[in-house]
Amino acid sequence: MKYTLWLIFPLLILNSYNLKAHTDSLKVKTKKKDTVDLGWRTKNEVGLLLNQVSFTNWNSGGTNSISGIVSTKSIAKYKQEKWFWNSELNLKYGLNKQQDNGVKKTEDVIDLNSNVVLQTDSISNWFYSARFSFNTQFSNGYKYPNKDEAISRFLAPGYMFFGVGMEYGRKIEHLSFYASPFTLKTTFVMDDHLANRGAFGVNPAIYDMDGNMLSKGNNIKQEVGILLTNKYEENIFENIKLNSHLRLYTDYVNSFGNIDIDWEVNIDMKVNKFVKATLGSHLKYDNDIKVESKRNEITNEEIILEGPSVQWKQILGVGVVIDFDKLSKSKETS
């Protein structure tokens, strides 16, 4: 937990800087009339990022490899005078093939986010907000090189958040902050083998002294806690866009104060209308996910060999991204 606190501190410093950077423009921008068109706005794009390395009689040595990530993003927004609804679906799947090492999964994301926001005062920057999110994966995950036993599957785990709260900053361009004192977090482990082991924090199966199962492990775990999120978007240079999304969650009942962290930062560098380079960082910490543990074969008691730790994933790729909405508009105008 002490490492978590050291991790949260620089995150808060960064996001406080973002808030401070927009403070001077707060009064000016809140007085401007909202120029966003009412009704529907959509965005649909598909991308392919590739990375390939090949060696032939290379003196320094090396391993031939090729990897690719296919991604799909769909955004729908609906706005009225007093309220609006935003929804976003992100799908990603990536594979890597190294010489003589087989195919390994590098990316696997199903992520749905939706929120409804109500404005009761045209002057204030505070809004009532209800948020829903769900994420899981497409296929089995393994702790390579061991491919005999899956450590995760589709809907094992799956995470769903639903809560109500207040949001600040919708009229401050590119920056918003959301706080919910009542958020329901549901963890799904819809695989009996993983559920019986108590994976991802669900209650494990109970056995007698002879190893006979007395009760199955739970497939669902529910928690109620506090959710804080911060979203920041900015064009830091021409054709270079920064996206940051931070989520902090702690449960009231189970280990209150142990904060789950999910922080994703992406820098998109646009080369032209179709070619884009992406530099991404995804940092996670979840107290329910242990780095390494084993089970007593008779009592099914979990023995922690290495506790929860910071998870970090980095992505660098260059590829093709097609924005179907912009493509259709360009055809209509031509």
Query: What string of DSSP letters covers 199-268?
Result: GGGPPPPEE-TTS-EEEPPPSEEEEEEEEEEEEEEEEEETTEEEEEEEEEEEESSSSTT--EEEEEEEEE
* Per-residue pLDDT at 121: 81
Confidence of residue 48 (pLDDT cuts 50, 70, 90): very high
DSSP state of 34: P
Give the C-alpha separation, 75 to 279, whole Å. 21
Confidence of residue 82 (pLDDT cuts 50, 70, 90): confident
pLDDT at 24 over 50: no
Give the C-alpha separation, 219 to 257, whole Å. 25
pLDDT at 3 over 70: no
9 vs 281, residue with greater confidence: 281
* Per-residue pLDDT at 2: 42
* Per-residue pLDDT at 260: 95
Backbone angles phi, psi at 17, to 5 degrees: -65, -40
* Per-residue pLDDT at 27: 41
Confidence of residue 8 (pLDDT cuts 50, 70, 90): very low
- Burial annotation 263-294 (CB, 10 A radius, 16+ → b, else e): bbbebbeeeeeeebebebebbbbbbbbbeeee
pLDDT at 99 over 50: yes
SS3 315: strand
> What percentage of residues in the chain have a pLDDT greater than 90?
48
Range of weakest confidence among 29-33, 85-89, 108-112, 327-331: 29-33
Give the C-alpha separation, 300 to 205, whole Å. 7
| Beta carbons within 10 angstroms of residue 334's beta carbon | 5
Contact at 8 Å (CB) between 289 and 302?
no
* Per-residue pLDDT at 299: 58
Q: In whole numbers, what is the pLDDT of the chain averaged over residues?
A: 83
Mean pLDDT of 177-196: 96
Mean pLDDT of 129-152: 93
293 vs 233, residue with greater confidence: 233
Contact at 8 Å (CB) between 263 and 11?
yes
pTM given for the model: 0.82
Mean pLDDT of 309-315: 89
pLDDT at 180 over 90: yes
Confidence of residue 59 (pLDDT cuts 50, 70, 90): confident
| Beta carbons within 10 angstroms of residue 308's beta carbon | 18
Mean pLDDT of 120-140: 91
